[in-house]
Amino acid sequence: MPPPSPRRLSLQQIVEGQRRAAFVGRQAELDLYRANFALPPEDPRHRFVFHVRGNAGVGKTSLVREWREAAGEFGALTASVDESADSVPDVLADFAAQFAEQGHPLKALDRLLATYRRARHDAAGRLAADSETPGGAPSPGALAA
Alpha-carbon distance of 79 to 58, in angstroms, equals 21
Whether the pTM exceeds 0.75: the reply is no
Residue 145 has a pLDDT of: 47
What confidence score (pLDDT) does residue 83 get?
84
Q: Which residues of the chain have pLDDT under 70?
A: 1-5, 19-25, 134-145
Q: What is the residue extent of each domain of the chain?
A: 11-78
User: Given this model, what pLDDT does residue 139 score?
Assistant: 54
Q: What confidence score (pLDDT) does residue 88 get?
A: 95
Predicted local confidence at residue 122, as pLDDT: 93
Percent of the chain with pLDDT over 70: 82
